Structure 1
Amino acid sequence: MAANDPALTALAQGWCALSLLHGRIEAHIERALQSGHGLSAREFSLLDVLSRQHDGTGGHLQMKQVADAVVLSQSATTRLVARLEDRGLLTRYICDTDRRGIYTDVTDAGRQLLAAARPTNDGALREALDEAAGNPELAPLVRAVEGVETVPARSAGTG
């Protein structure tokens, strides 16, 4: 069923178009990151989220916060962290104040790979949006994405 099928409600049509746009963007970014840097889009996203942590009290994200940020289950996030740790891109260690807590930090190698991959990610995103803008069904969504203003990041634990 195409997004412009008259049997779909307007809301369902919008959802189908959004899903189509997301899928196209993600596939385009995935190909670019894999071929250029040996990273999946999820791996890039995880490195990016973790690289934005700051030192000090409350600076490290809990695994649930990381999972929410990369839109994965906690178990899938843990497996992803383990794979990146095996590649030397992340390191994990026990929290000094709460022995149950495990922190994850990006290593120097991870930061270097992230820095090298960021232009690839951004370029692939731009290419995918430009391509989608030529589709009348997706063009309004592309304009909406391009019009989103960045909001300052909220500190962990605020909602």
Structure 2
Amino acid sequence: MTATDPALTSLPQGWFALSRLHDRIESRLEQALQAGHDLSVREYSLLAVLSRQHGGVGGHLRMAQVADAVVLSQSATTRLVSRLEDRALLTRYLCDTDRRGIYTDVTPAGLELLEAARPTHDSALCEALQEAAKDPELTDLARVVSSPNATAVARK
């Protein structure tokens, strides 16, 4: 398939732009988080998801919920959780009322690393969006993603 193949050029251009923007952002975040905090984007995302669930005892998610939240398969999520558990950033434990249920919870060390990494993440995200805004094909998307309303929705 070539770049001029009708099957390729008939797809919506908006989808290609969205994919390019996502790849640029993810690449910038990956570099910054790895260099500054020895965290991958997926690891950061998992800590962020769990931290929003954290409210003391009971602030946890079942593994299936974790997989849905970070958009990974069950097996990839298990490997991700295991890596963070080995670093004492997460814990897993059985549900008190349903022994088949396994919960995942962020540890105080995980919360501390997340808070240390958040400024790096936010700065890299802003830089990636500012750079993308200079690309005529990405300007509108970068503006939408950068808007205060998008940020408020993402934090909910």
**TM-score interval w.r.t. the shorter chain?**
0.7 to 0.9
Between Structure 1 and Structure 2, the one with more helix by share is: 2
Using the TM superposition, give the Cα deviation of residue 44 of structure 1 relative to its aligned residue in structure 2, in angstroms: 0.2
Counterpart-to-counterpart distance in 2, 1:57 and 1:37: 27
Q: What is the identity, as a one-letter code, of the residue corresponding to 1:73?
A: S
C-alpha offsets along residues 47-70 of structure 1, whole Å, 9 cap, x if unaligned? 111111145898532222211111
Equivalent residue pairs, number? 149
Matches within 5 A, 1:71-150: 71-147=71-147, 148-149=149-150, 150=152
Counterpart-to-counterpart distance in 2, 1:61 and 1:26: 25
> 8 Å contact 2:85–2:91 — kept in the other structure?
yes
> 8 Å contact 2:60–2:103 — kept in the other structure?
yes
> Where does structure 1 lack aligned partners over 5 or more consecutive residues?
154-159
CA 1:86–1:59: 2 relative to 1, 3 Å: closer
> Where does structure 2 lack aligned partners over 5 or more consecutive residues?
none
Counterpart-to-counterpart distance in 1, 2:106 and 2:29: 21
> 8 Å contact 2:54–2:105 — kept in the other structure?
no
TM score, norm. by length of structure 1: 0.85
- Determine if the alignment matches structure 1 residue 66 to structure 2 residue 66: yes
Query: What's 1:27 paired with?
Result: 27
Counterpart-to-counterpart distance in 2, 1:115 and 1:60: 18
Counterpart-to-counterpart distance in 2, 1:84 and 1:144: 32
Q: Secondary structure at the match of 1:88?
A: coil
> 8 Å contact 2:33–2:39 — kept in the other structure?
yes
Q: Secondary structure at the match of 1:52?
A: helix
C-alpha offsets along residues 98-154 of structure 1, whole Å, 9 cap, x if unaligned? 11111111111111110000010010000000000000000011112123442374x
TM score, norm. by length of structure 2: 0.87
Over aligned residue pairs, what C-alpha RMSD do you find? 2.2
Question: Which moves more between the two structures, 143-152 or 41-50?
Answer: 143-152
Question: Which moves more between the two structures, 59-68 or 39-48?
Answer: 59-68
- Determine if the alignment matches structure 1 residue 15 to structure 2 residue 15: yes
Using the TM superposition, give the Cα deviation of residue 29 of structure 1 relative to its aligned residue in structure 2, in angstroms: 0.2
